[in-house]
């Protein structure tokens, strides 16, 4: 079972790989590696509060918990940075190749501070046990899937109504 220390060491190793890529001028891969380091730290924080590693690996499962945890400890700033890193490095940087090289380099410096902040929070919260959240989140995801299925059925019914109205009025 992966532990906090495993995620932490992998995040730091990945971040240092990103810095090496940046030094070589490989901005795109540096952006993606640094985003991966951010993701590893998100998982590290969750594992530190007793969210099972396999649950922390699932973004659908763990992101809502991560958000609520940072809000609960009044660190919305770190949450905003997480989303900014996602946009700047991952989506606009790596996938769309729209983030400038200068912005990638600047953002990589900020990732280092963010990693240290998350590490400090994880260590402070290491006595916190949020394992009871797992069952509730599983239930929330089950409900979400039911809602999505019902939404599809709802729109299918509306489509049938529209089609019936079209057929009836076109005669």
| Count of beta carbons in the 10 Å neighbourhood of residue 33 | 24
Same-domain check for residues 67 and 147: no
| Count of beta carbons in the 10 Å neighbourhood of residue 142 | 10
Same-domain check for residues 40 and 122: yes
Give the pLDDT score at 6: 93
Tens-digit pLDDT string for the chain (171 aa)? 479 999 999 999 999 999 999 999 998 899 999 999 999 999 999 999 999 999 999 989 899 999 999 999 999 999 999 999 998 888 677 667 777 888 888 999 999 999 999 999 999 998 999 999 999 999 999 999 999 999 999 999 999 999 999 999 987
Same-domain check for residues 61 and 22: yes
Same-domain check for residues 63 and 135: no
**Cα–Cα distance, 131 to 56 (Å, whole number):** 11
**Cα–Cα distance, 101 to 94 (Å, whole number):** 11
Query: pTM of the full predicted structure?
Result: 0.84
Same-domain check for residues 162 and 117: no
Q: Count of residues for the chain?
A: 171
Give the pLDDT score at 94: 67
Give the pLDDT score at 171: 73
3-state SS of the chain: helix, strand, coil percent to 5? 85, 0, 15
Give the pLDDT score at 9: 95
Write out the residue range of the structural domain in which residue 48 sits. Answer: 4-130
């Amino acid at each position: 079972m992966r532990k906090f220390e495993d995620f932490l060491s992998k995040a730091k190793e990945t971040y240092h790989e990103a810095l090496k890529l940046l030094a070589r001028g490989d901005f795109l891969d540096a952006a993606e590696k640094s985003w991966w380091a951010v993701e590893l730290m998100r998982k590290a924080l969750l594992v530190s509060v007793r969210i099972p590693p396999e649950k922390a690996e699932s973004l659908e499962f763990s992101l809502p918990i991560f958000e609520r945890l940072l809000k609960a400890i009044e660190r919305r700033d770190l949450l905003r940075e997480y989303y900014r890193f996602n946009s700047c490095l991952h989506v606009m940087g790596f996938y769309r190749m729209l983030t400038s090289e200068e912005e990638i380099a600047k953002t990589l410096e900020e990732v280092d501070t963010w990693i240290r902040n998350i590490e400090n929070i994880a260590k402070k919260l290491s006595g916190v046990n949020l394992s009871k959240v797992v069952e509730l989140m599983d239930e929330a995801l089950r409900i979400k899937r039911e809602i999505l299925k019902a939404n599809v059925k709802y729109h299918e019914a509306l489509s049938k109504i529209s089609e019936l109205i079209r057929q009836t009025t076109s005669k």
